[in-house]
Structure 1
Amino acid sequence: MKNILIGMVVSLLIILGLTFNWGYDQYNELNSYNLYVENQFRRMFYDLVGNVENIQSDLAKIMVTGTPNQNVLLFTDLMYKCYDAQEDLTQLPIKHKDVSKTQKFLSQVGDFSMAMSRKCLRGKTLTADDMKTLEKLHNYSNYLAQSLLQLQKDITKDEVKLNALIRNTNKKLDKTNDNILNTSFLNVEERMQEYPELIYDGPFSEHLKNIKPKLEGKEISKNEAKRIAREFLKNDKKYEIDVISETENTRFPAYIIQLRDTNAEEGYITFAITKKAGKVIWMLNTKPVGHSKLSLKDAVKKAKEFLQKSGFDSMVATYSEEYDGTSVINFAYKQDNVIVYTDLIKVKVSLDDGSIVGFEAEGYLSNHHQRKIDKPQISEEDALNMISIDADVKKARLAIIPTEGSKEVLCYEVIANYKEDNFLIYINAVNGEEERILQMIIKEQGVLMM
């Protein structure tokens, strides 16, 4: 009996020892993982600070540089720095709504830089208005840089852990982390509301902001906005629906609505719905996205079906991008067999189940109306003859694109290949001038325009 007891004690000690070793190994592994994640977040944050400092520096250089050739180099570098900073910001564990205006600022400075680079390539000099805009953007980028530098010092001094924002997603955050991180970015957001709207010939997906929105209708109540958000989802799920804020001094004064699925542990859906006419400006579903099962073709079909059910007819998929298990498809309106790129809607499709997890229609709401489209003054053959003889021209179609000064122009959109590169070339259908050239980057993730 005594030997049995001794054997049991020894076995128990061995089991406890093995359990302790396993637990200790798991503890060390978890610590190593947390350290890795923390270091990744810190690297992204320091990259963000560096890129914003370079943006401020490039804007300052451009204001004292007089040659168009040098400006092209600076604007090109500035454009990539803006897009890099935007990517860094989106990778940080910060709520999207807390940095949306900062993201938009970086995006528009990048697009503005692209437009100014094209202008300088044409041999045109920057105007007095361009310089005023540059000065304002420089001041805001300087403020953003200084704010981020101060935040960087605070993070180091108070030993703030960035990955705590992920670990405590569903719990009350540590007060130090909460105050230093979220409050700092919210303060930056408040200031970023004041930056000037840009007037430039940006990409088709970024519409000019100084035209009066073509949206008519009566004012709606909060309860009507809730109903519109619920009906937009077109499913039988039960949601808790709240109006979490309102916007006033914006292009479209709106109610911000949040819906939470009562049967789901994670994710929520946020809407911005115009107070006038009750139109959905944007929608974002934060549900977790699983492994991709659908193709881009499937995603386009799902998005188009959704638009048709939502009352958006005559929409044509133009280009797309795939990332993080989703596909974002840009749709443009089609009237009289002419693609109208200013009337744009973006739809984000989850590739695991085909659900619609994002929607943005600011371009469509701003610009959509029935147009009187004049007949082209030059023929399609004449337009094709204006393309370089070294390029392999595939086909052409009519399209309306935005230009400087809030104008629209009817063009022939020509698809052309040169060696291994693909391009869209826009030839003015009235005077035959080349209005725009975009490079098509065709890859597994979709088609991008540069």
Structure 2
Amino acid sequence: MYKRLSAILFPVATVLLIGALVWGYQENKEKNAILINAENQYQRAFHDLSYHMDRLHTELGNTLAVSSTSQGMHRKGLMNVWRITSEAQNEINQLPLGLLPFNKTEEFLSRISNFAYKTGVRDLTKEPLSENEVKTLKTLYTNSGEITKDLQSVQNKVIASGLRWMDVETALVSNNTQDNSIIDGFRTVDKKVEAYPELDWGPSVSSIYDRRSVKQLAGMPVSAEDVKRKAMKFADTDGSARLRVTQNGKGTDWSSYTVQVNQRQGHKISMDFTEKGGQLISYTKERNVGAKKVSVQEAIDKAQDFLAKKGYADMTAVSADQFDNMANFSFVREEDGVLIYPEKITVRSAMDNGEVLGFQASDFVYEHQIKREIPQPKLKLAQAKKTLNPEYNILYNRKALIKNDRNEDVLCYEFGGRINGSQYRIYINADTGLEETVEVIKDAQAGIR
């Protein structure tokens, strides 16, 4: 009996053992292949980063080497700088540096990229590089040379000692970062960048990094009781509703109040107000939304009435985004026949009855001016039309104030129309006749002018 069982079980056990060994070998092989592939990707990204930093240094030098009147070469050089810094940023994102402080270098490259782009895209024949911009380029040339030298030093150590990026990832996760040449090298670069004096990037670039704060707002700080009264008035709530006011970020540049309202009907409303001036930033009402019963235009009309009743007069719908039984509408203020696009309010409406359930007004709060100085256009409407593609079928036109690539207010002629089977809005600078921007119109907002 025992011999018979042994004769059966022994071959089975042998097969299982061999199978387990093969499976283990295959698993280990696949794991090693994944690790090798990851290491190769890290190595490629690192060496590409070192190469592109060297190219950035060279391109900045080339841009500075040509005559101050060589606008064409300046534009070409700046566009190359923008392209190269974008590639360098992408390569940094591919490296396992999430747990390593390298944000100063990333921000530095981001500023170089934006500076090069915004300077290069403008008409350098009419607005050549200023003395400050040339000075900034010279400083960037010096700084990029130092960063390149440090990265090449790390690169030489990686090649000479066969250092692995997988070890860097492991060290960062385990917080054991001592005596790692790669980590030490990147920390040295970031500390050096942090120590660089602040450069004059110009207003168009600086505005990108200037966060909005309550300091920009007019008015005096308000109390929690003031906000409570404002919330009750905006929500049309009587004394039976329960309100809770919470202050956020006290003493910071983003100090605000959040008001939670519990209505008798069971609906909950949440509102955010700025501490300075007590201006409403957002409004949200929670309720179950039924099936769609109203049209987009009906919902827009109700949203416009809602805004007017709440003190936001002269608002015009400029975009719509419908999804299932909800829709988002963007409204901008109109003044003297000109749409002021920076003063935007986004409204979320329920499509079962058109009720406004959401409201976002941060753009309006920070950009609103009671009486804007709107310049007179240098070009006539007919002159602006001549700059369009002859095949562009114009459906409407109007004046609009928008932000350009340099974050400046620009008066434009807005032309809505169709070409190549799609609908667009084209914004023509009312002074220069150049296209400032082009927007494709989605099907959901095709009927909105």
- Paired residue secondary structure (1:163): helix
- Aligned position for 1:336: 334
Asked whether the 8 Å contact 2:429–2:435 carries over to 1, the reply is no
Note the C-alpha offset of 1:396.
Answer: 4.4
* 1:87 CA drift (Å): 1.4
Give the letter for the 2:369 counterpart: Q
Residue equivalent to 1:140: 143
Distance in structure 1 (CA, Å) of the matches to 2:320 and 2:44:
32
Secondary structure of the structure 2 residue equivalent to 1:206: helix
Q: Deviations over 1:49-98 (max 9, x none)?
A: 21121111111111111211222222222221111111111222211883
Q: In structure 2, what is the equivalent of residue 301 of structure 1?
A: none
The answer to whether structure 1 residue 32 and structure 2 residue 30 are counterparts is: no
Superposition deviation, residue 427 in structure 1: 3.7
Offset at residue 44 of structure 1 (A): 1.4
Secondary structure of the equivalent of 1:370?
A: coil
Cα deviation for residue 4 of structure 1 reads: 2.2
Offset of 1:102 from its aligned partner?
2.4
Other-structure match for 2:156: 153
Aligned: 1:172 with 2:170 = no
Return the offset for 1:201.
Answer: 4.4
Gaps of 5+ in 2: 223-248, 256-273, 280-306, 322-328, 347-360, 443-449
Give the aligned residue type for 1:32.
Answer: A
* Corresponding residue number in structure 1 for 2:61: 60
Q: How does 1:76-225 map to 2 (within 5 A)?
A: 76-95=79-98, 98-119=101-122, 121-122=124-125, 124-164=127-167, 171-175=173-177, 179-193=180-194, 194-199=197-202, 201=204, 206=208, 214-215=216-217
What are the residue-to-residue correspondences of 1:44-443 with 2, within 5 Å? 44-66=45-67, 67-95=70-98, 98-119=101-122, 121-122=124-125, 124-164=127-167, 171-175=173-177, 179-193=180-194, 194-199=197-202, 201=204, 206=208, 214-215=216-217, 334-336=332-334, 368-374=367-373, 377-378=376-377, 381-382=381-382, 384-388=384-388, 390=390, 392=392, 394=394, 395-402=396-403, 408-414=409-415, 426-429=427-430, 432-434=431-433, 437-438=436-437
Contact 1:102 1:189 in 2 (8 A): yes
**Matching residue of 2:355:** none
- Would the alpha carbon gap of residues 333 and 441 (structure 1) be closer, same or farther in structure 2, given more than 3 Å must change? closer
Given that 1:165 and 1:173 are in contact with CA atoms closer than 8 Å, whether structure 2 keeps it comes out as: no
**Secondary structure of the residue that 1:400 maps to in structure 2?**
strand
Aligned to 1:334, the other structure's residue is in SS state strand
1:436 CA drift (Å): 5.2
Instruction: State the Cα deviation string for residues 23-59 of structure 1 (Å, max 9, x = none).
Output: 0111011101110111011111211221121111111
SS at match of 1:377: coil
The CA deviation string for residues 391-427 of structure 1, in whole angstroms up to 9 with x for no partner, is 6264545443456998533333446788799987544
Kept in 2, the 8 Å contact 1:426–1:436? The answer is yes
Structure 2 letter corresponding to 1:75: L
Query: How much has 1:315 moved relative to structure 2?
Result: 11
What is the identity percentage for the equivalent residue pairs of Structure 1 and Structure 2? 20
In 1, the alpha carbon distance for the partners of 2:127 and 2:93 equals: 35
Aligned with 2:115: secondary structure? helix
AA paired with 1:104?
A: E
2:202 is paired with a residue of what secondary structure?
coil
2:44 alignment partner AA:
R
Distance in structure 2 (CA, Å) of the matches to 1:152 and 1:343: 49
Q: Would the aligned equivalents of 1:414 and 1:425 in 2 still touch at CA under 8 Å?
A: yes
The 8 Å contact of residues 400 and 413 in structure 2, kept in 1 or not, is answered as: yes
Q: State the SS of the aligned residue for 2:208.
A: coil
Residue identity opposite 2:105 in structure 1: T
Letter in 2 for 1:390: P
Instruction: Please say if residues 404 and 436 of structure 2, whose CA atoms lie closer than 8 Å, have aligned partners that are also in contact.
Output: no
Q: Quote how far apart the aligned CAs of 1:167 are.
A: 6.1
Q: Which SS does the other structure have where 1:191 is aligned?
A: helix
Distance 2:116 2:56 in 1: 11
Q: 1:41·1:92 contact (CA, 8 Å) conserved in 2?
A: yes
Instruction: Look up the SS of the partner of 1:175 in the other structure.
Output: coil
Quick one: distance in 2 between partners of 1:342 and 1:207?
17
TM-score normalised by length of structure 1: 0.58
- Whether the 8 Å CA contact 1:383–1:427 is kept in 2: the answer is no
Question: For the residues of structure 2 that align with 1:275 and 1:101, how far apart are their CA atoms?
Answer: 31
Provide the TM-score with structure 2 as the length reference.
0.58
Task: Between 16-25 and 208-217, report the one with greater CA deviation.
Answer: 208-217
Q: How many residues align?
A: 335
Q: Distance in 2 between matches of 1:87 and 1:316?
A: 37
For the residues of structure 2 that align with 1:277 and 1:182, how far apart are their CA atoms?
Answer: 47
Secondary structure at the residue paired with 1:410?
Answer: strand
Show CA shifts across 1:374-404 (max 9, x none).
Answer: 4563498346424245362645454434569
Matched residues in 2 for 1:12 and 1:99: separation? 55
Corresponding position of 1:19: 20
Q: Deviations over 1:241-297 (max 9, x none)?
A: xx9xxxxxxxx9789xxxxxxxxxxxxxxxxxx999999xxxxxxxxxxxxxxxxxx
Instruction: State the Cα distance separating 1:206 from its structure 2 match.
Output: 3.4
- Closer, same or farther: CA 45–23 of 1 in aligned 2, 3 Å: same
